[in-house]
Amino acid sequence: MQKIPFHIISGFLGSGKTTFLKQIIEQYSAEKKIGIIQNEFAPSNIDGAELKKMGEDFNLLEINNGSVFCVCLLGDFVRSLEKFIHQFHPDILIIEASGLSDTTSISEVISAGSLAEKIYLASNWCIVDAQNFAKVGLMKQRVSHQLRMADVVVVNKTDLVDSGLEQIEQEIRKINPFTEIKQTSFCKIDFELGNSAINKFYFGEVKSMSRPDVNSMVIKSARQVSLQSLQLFLSEWAPKAYRIKGFVKLKDNKTVAVQCTFDSVDVLDVDDAFHPTELVALTDRFTLREWTRAFKELF
């Protein structure tokens, strides 16, 4: 069985996640079996009810008991998700993660244990409400760890603001220099079912060629590494991965953002004092154990 792509859509309450989900369901539910996971912290169930009203064909897993906002409660999430996959065999999984969710921990958990044999992290989206983002700069703390690990940041509701979009983009880039930023209103943006990094690679290859099983994996570490050994590490592993990205804490207490695709390794300084190293890889050529071991050797 091919692994199921797992997508994260995060963002603060009211940013437009459910609207985005609705569009994905409308667009794809005829051709694919979609599994939706909702963990809205509050008010419970309202969004779930809204989605169900659509009458389209998809399966919904609601995690009301214990929102996935804290690593303490991820154990139950793993169990529910496993049951859900077993029951419905979805072609694609999308989690709507509330603004309080820790998306890195979600990525880590789905990439470990028995879940890792069934699914892989395909993409991580964060939706930002242009109106509110501009209004409350102080809320950055809350969105920043969702933003920093996002592959795509969608700046939504741009119709409601007259100016300041450029500034929002700058703010986002400061947190996550490599992310793709899309501006829109009503979440009108295209969504890719698989992982774009893999799709790019297979584009132009023989169509029928079956894709090897991909693994996603996460390294979290508190230790600091030297820039030189980080670069050696990345140049060794990047060619074996579709993509490696994330943030690494360096010896001089600086943090760098990292993005690697096959042959390119990009490392950029970012302003950040309070996050540990978090690296995500997507590959079909190594395992988490091998990767972690190699990373540990850097110290």
Partner 1 sequence: MKGLELIKKAFALEEVERIPWVPFVGVHGGYLTGVDAETYLKSTDEVVKGVSKAIEEYNPDGVPVVFDLQIEAEILGCNLQWAPHNPPAVITHPLANGTSLADLKVPEISDGRIPVAVEATKILREKHPDVALYGLITGPFTLALHLMGTDIFMKLFEAPEEVNAVMEFCTKVGVKMSEYLLDAGCDIIAVVDPMTSQIDPMTFETFVTPYCTEIFDFVRKKEKLSSFFVCGHAQQNIEAMCNCKPDNVSIDENIPLDFVKEIALKKGISFGGNMKLTVVLLMGNEDDSRENAMECLDMGGKKGFILAPGCDLPMDTPPANIKAVSDLVHDPYKQDVVRALEKKESTLEIFNMKDYGQADKVIVDIITLDSESCAPCQYMVEAVKKVAPQFEGVVEWREHAIKKMDAVTFMSSLMVKNIPTICIDGKIAFVSQIPPKSELVAAIQKRINAKLKLKIQQRKSKILLLCSEEAECTGIKQNIHRAITELGKDIEVKVISDKEKMAKYGVAKGPAVVTVNYKLKSEGIEPSLDVMKEWIKEL
**Rule CB under 8 A: which residues touch partner 1?**
13, 41-45, 64-67, 69-76, 78-79, 99-100, 102, 105, 108-109, 112-113, 136, 138-142, 145, 220, 222-223, 273-276, 293, 296-297
Closer by beta carbon to partner 1, 140 or else 173: 140
> What residues have CB less than 8 Å from 57, skipping those under 6 apart?
29, 30, 33
Q: What angle do CA 131, 274, 251 make, to 5 degrees?
A: 135
Picking from 269, 246, 222, 270, the residue whose alpha carbon sits closest to that of residue 150 is 246
Closer by beta carbon to partner 1, 44 or else 59: 44
Q: What angle do CA 246, 247, 253 make, to 5 degrees?
A: 175
What is the residue type of 67? S
Closer by beta carbon to partner 1, 64 or else 235: 64
Buried b (16+ CB within 10 A) or exposed e, 20-44: bbbbbbeebeeebbbbbbbbbbeee
CB of 239 to partner 1, least distance (A): 21
CB of 24 to partner 1, least distance (A): 24
Closer by beta carbon to partner 1, 142 or else 251: 142
Q: Dihedral sign for Cα 266, 267, 268, 274, please.
A: positive
What is the residue type of 198? I
Tell me the β-bridge partners of 51: none
Closer by beta carbon to partner 1, 82 or else 91: 82
CB of 284 to partner 1, least distance (A): 21
CB of 202 to partner 1, least distance (A): 30
Closer by beta carbon to partner 1, 67 or else 261: 67
* Cα separation, 168 vs 129, whole angstroms: 10
The percent helix, strand, coil of the chain (3-state, each to 5) is 40, 25, 35
